[in-house]
Every structure is written in C-alpha cells, then in structure tokens.
Amino acid sequence: MPGKDDPVVIKKYANRRLYNTGTSTYVTLEDLAEMVKRDEDFVVQDAKTGDDITHSVLTQIIFELENDKNGQNMLPISFLRQLISFYGDQMQMVVPSFLEQSMLAFAKEQERLREQMTQAFGKTPMGDMMQMNAPMKVIEEQTRRNMEMFQQAMRMFSPAPSAGSNNGLREETGEANDLKDLREQVAAMQRKIDSMSKD
C-alpha cells in the first residue's frame, strides 16, 4: 500500500489509456494537467514494463496545451529555438538546473508578481495585455535575476588548479579557455533572453 505522502501512480496501457490507481478510474491528459495545477504529485508508469515515463507524459501535456486552438501559447518561438540549440551542446548539462531554479524562483514570487500585474493593468485579461504590447517590467526584472543566478552557477565550472602539479600551467590555461568559451555562451544567452524580454 502506498504511503499517504507517496505520489499517486498513474499506469499507461498499450492502448494509451491512463489509469489512476489512487481513484481507480481512467483519466486523460487534461486530468493530469489539472492534478499538476492542484500540486498533486504523481508518477506515470508503463503498465507492462513498470518503467517511469513521467517525463514523456508531462512533455506530451505541454505539447497538447501549446497546440490547443482555444488556449494561449506560452512558449515563444525564440525560446523553443534556443532550447533546441542546446541539445548536444556542452551547455546542455547546465540548462535543466538553470530552468528548474528559474521556475522555482518565479513560483516563489508569483503572488507578488500577480499583485504588481494587477496594479499595473487592473483586471485586463492577459490576452488583451499581449495585444496592447504592454511593458512587462516585472517579468524583465525576474529574467535579469535569473541570468545573474545562472552566471553565478557558471562560476562553479572554474575549479582551482591543483597545487604542485607539473602540468599546472597547462591545466590552468585549458581551464581558462574552457571558462572563456562558457562565458561567451552565457553572454550569447543573455543577449537572446534580453531580446526575448523586449518582444
């Protein structure tokens, strides 16, 4: 029996049906999206193999939401292009942590952001705000904070050369070159994020 605080197990069958073992009912991707919004923890398992396929199912939910004709696309094309470009790049190992920390920081401040948005735009629907091309100073501020956090994280990729090493100078030079490459990529990312925040 699962514990009270254990995530609900959702089983996905070969016919693509999803079964919530907690409620003993079949559910849809929309139901799982609502569970996420209610902060209900769950894992999705392949019913046949028992493999954890939560990542692919959550990705599928985002795909469905982004393609909902009645919904509002949330991921800008420039962001999607940038994200795709990081696959296979040496920065790929840093991106997941950066995105996770950015979203955690955003989530922690969402109430303050909501208040500031309400003060700035009243009860104007978000879609109307986008059409009016209203300035998003609050979001830009958060983006700058995220980039500062990212740059601080990147400094950890510059380990000090080991003392007494015969190849100390060579190692230090190689690390300096690696650090230079990383800084250039961070700067490029900063420029792209700045351009995104101005769109």
Residues 93 and 16 in one domain: no
C-alpha 89/C-alpha 86 separation (Å) is 5
Residues 34 and 55 in one domain: yes
Residues 133 and 90 in one domain: yes
Residues 106 and 177 in one domain: yes
Give the structural domain span for 190: 77-198
Query: Can you give the pLDDT at residue 107?
Result: 80
Question: Does residue 1 form part of some domain?
Answer: no
C-alpha 109/C-alpha 135 separation (Å) is 19
As for how many domains the chain has, the answer is 2
Question: Does residue 156 form part of some domain?
Answer: yes
* Cβ–Cβ < 8 Å for 19, 13: yes
Identify the band that residue 131 occupies on the pLDDT scale cut at 50, 70 and 90. very low
Residues 56 and 148 in one domain: no
Question: Does residue 3 form part of some domain?
Answer: no
180 or 171, higher pLDDT: 180
Residues 109 and 162 in one domain: yes
* CA distance from start to end of the chain: 50
Residues 96 and 170 in one domain: yes
Residues 96 and 13 in one domain: no
Lowest-confidence segment of 83-92, 95-104, 157-166 by average pLDDT: 157-166
Query: Can you give the pLDDT at residue 9?
Result: 97
Question: Does residue 2 form part of some domain?
Answer: no
Question: Does residue 71 form part of some domain?
Answer: no
